[in-house]
Structure 1
């Protein structure tokens, strides 16, 4: 069995409601759908996602359709480790581009062996998977109302996005905490939007509220700033600081965080995500699985990772669940929903069909294609 075709299509799926975070406002989800086909007709699918909320996915797709295609054509799809190394070398360590290709290779391997991807990664140790819901920044009153609506569906955990305005952000978090029941876990995601001083002011103000953790209060490369934030006594999670194995080691050695948030497309796919998780587990680091701004295809990959990774047990994750943002549609046949997660006690189960268990509708890929 050899790889006979590599195709990447840039797409943009509109949101029904704009999504506000500290780095900007989203009205669409830009993404790249990757399709890898073998000479015996098997097909694997993956999704690559740009770094920025307004990232241009067209050049990303072009890199897959040229450079990555040249690396993979005629090769054995099972040689995933070799393919990852070769692609990273050819693309100067471009993890965003690699992510969807790696996911597609795992999907293809599972289909070839007629087994779900989690079985190729050690089997299930965390299924069903706890899921939480991420709220884009709005007024404190709007966020409190939305929190109540989400918890009424059955969700047991919330993530509050903030904007970088300390006073308003404190009110947002306080309004949510005061509206929901005491047993609802609440996290805050700052997306690196504060200076060191503002981050510490924010953390001091929210410390009495009993948050599970605050994510990325300062920019990704400021490990000293993260360490200063930890001194406040509120647990600190990292996302923008955690992209590579080297960064995982640095975060641990610098004692810069309390929780790893691993996002599958951002770290280069499932292969490298598993390695980062192993580094975290060796240091006793709790792991949550983030979702980035992804369509359902990447969320399938996140489920297989969360289900097969011991460090994810006992914690809620946004990545394996349905997109918290108001997507108008998707490119797969079946989407997970807030209602289905709530009805299952704020959990979702990993698919047991071969590969990722996702059915991609190619007509929808073409419908949302960017020129």
Structure 2
């Protein structure tokens, strides 16, 4: 029986936090515990969990460790704690797979597919030039894209704002045709009245889904929004446990869930969320605008989940200006995309070989990423 003897945390560009966990037999597991813009806060949470519960422990007892980290504190849930748990959980699964010399998905029931479809972001935070960018991505082999619906938007905005959003999607649809899927992300920045109008207005151009039409705290509004459109509704990137997802499953109006493997409790929890979704005929499309360890963790779950629809990935996303996903891998071909798909990996653990030397080099840099604060014309804070 091995024991956990050491851990290290590395804050690296563009906005990621990596966790390295080592056992006494020399096995190293990697995780990605991060809340974008709150790296230092999550670092402290990881340190508390590792120091209090994991150091000296047998790494193989993953379910017990998950329950201890979650239930061991009187206060539980939320983005910081669940992201800290997620990164640790990823590293424990990486260790287990490496020690047993098998991919994690084999330990979760085995593959249910040979490859996983991915989508590519276009357009940036304030979407622009989307048609030309869409053509470029489709020419590169992608058959699915995603774009933000709007930039900054008022609680009740003018008709021109709706028309502009519709015109953007229309141009993308005309550029790539009907054989390409286009997800439209409302990003939680759209209020309930505008979400109803926008969902209805976008429908003629057949989005693959509308994502996070309202913030999770307003999920009670999803049935009303769904009544205005036949477009599939997706949500879940800011929901952190199976208990958070329970309400939307019971509502019966969400068609695609998007838990984040670095926010929603890691592999252990998202596999359970995916199984719950399957029971409600809801598809799985994990959120992942993050780094290679998060993506590798997603792929382990999407590989073995029969209700997987598609996988987000962040290669060349607008956040990755200083470093990108493949930079941190010793063997980047593991994430080669062929006709818009990524192959199921066969290497042990998470299936990736982290370039530790490069991680340590990048961790010497100052990283202080925070999302922008947007304001309306009257000076009040807008949703980003």
TM, length-normalised to structure 1? 0.87
Q: Alpha-carbon deviation of 1:164?
A: 4.2
Between the aligned partners of 1:277 and 1:205, the Cα distance in structure 2 is 31
Between the aligned partners of 2:180 and 2:34, the Cα distance in structure 1 is 30
1:271 and 2:268 correspond: yes
Between the aligned partners of 2:235 and 2:51, the Cα distance in structure 1 is 33
SS in 2 for 1:368: helix
Q: 2:67 aligns with which of 80, 85, 88?
A: 85
SS in 2 for 1:289: coil
Gaps of 5+ in 2: 154-160, 367-384
1:352 and 2:346 correspond: yes
Kindly indicate whether the alpha-carbon contact (under 8 Å) linking 1:6 and 1:69 is maintained by their aligned counterparts in 2: no
Q: Alpha-carbon deviation of 1:269?
A: 0.3
Aligned to 1:130: 117
Between the aligned partners of 2:95 and 2:203, the Cα distance in structure 1 is 46
Kindly indicate whether the alpha-carbon contact (under 8 Å) linking 2:236 and 2:245 is maintained by their aligned counterparts in 1: no
Aligned to 1:9: 9
* Cα distance change on mapping 1:240 and 1:303 into 2, 3 Å: closer
SS in 2 for 1:360: coil
Kindly indicate whether the alpha-carbon contact (under 8 Å) linking 1:296 and 1:335 is maintained by their aligned counterparts in 2: no
Instruction: List per-residue Cα deviations over 1:147-196 (Å, max 9, x = no partner).
Output: 01000011100111232444333232222112112100111011111111
Aligned to 1:261: 258
Q: Alpha-carbon deviation of 1:128?
A: 0.7
Q: Alpha-carbon deviation of 1:336?
A: 5.3
Q: Which has the higher strand share?
A: 1
SS in 1 for 2:216: coil
Matches within 5 A, 1:133-144: 133-137=120-124, 142-144=129-131
Q: Alpha-carbon deviation of 1:241?
A: 5.3
* Cα distance change on mapping 1:79 and 1:337 into 2, 3 Å: closer
Runs of 4+ in structure 1 displaced over 4 angstroms?
138-141
Q: Alpha-carbon deviation of 1:141?
A: 5.6
Q: Alpha-carbon deviation of 1:59?
A: 2.7
Between the aligned partners of 2:123 and 2:85, the Cα distance in structure 1 is 28
1:48 and 2:45 correspond: no
SS in 2 for 1:48: coil
SS in 2 for 1:186: strand
Q: Alpha-carbon deviation of 1:132?
A: 1.0
Q: 2:19 aligns with which of 34, 38, 59?
A: 34
1:184 and 2:180 correspond: yes
Q: Alpha-carbon deviation of 1:364?
A: 1.8
TM, length-normalised to structure 2? 0.84
Shifted more, 266-275 versus 133-142: the winner is: 133-142
Kindly indicate whether the alpha-carbon contact (under 8 Å) linking 1:334 and 1:359 is maintained by their aligned counterparts in 2: yes
Aligned to 1:324: 317
Aligned to 1:23: none
SS in 2 for 1:357: coil
Gaps of 5+ in 1: 14-27
Q: 2:58 aligns with which of 57, 76, 79?
A: 76
Between the aligned partners of 2:284 and 2:290, the Cα distance in structure 1 is 19
SS in 1 for 2:9: strand
Q: Alpha-carbon deviation of 1:337?
A: 9.1
Matches within 5 A, 1:1-371: 1-13=1-13, 28=14, 30-50=15-35, 53=36, 55-90=37-72, 92-93=76-77, 94-137=81-124, 142-162=129-149, 163-165=151-153, 166-167=161-162, 168-233=164-229, 234-240=231-237, 242-291=239-288, 293-312=289-308, 315-319=309-313, 322=315, 324-325=317-318, 326=320, 328-329=323-324, 330-335=327-332, 340-341=336-337, 344-369=338-363
RMSD between aligned residues: 2.1
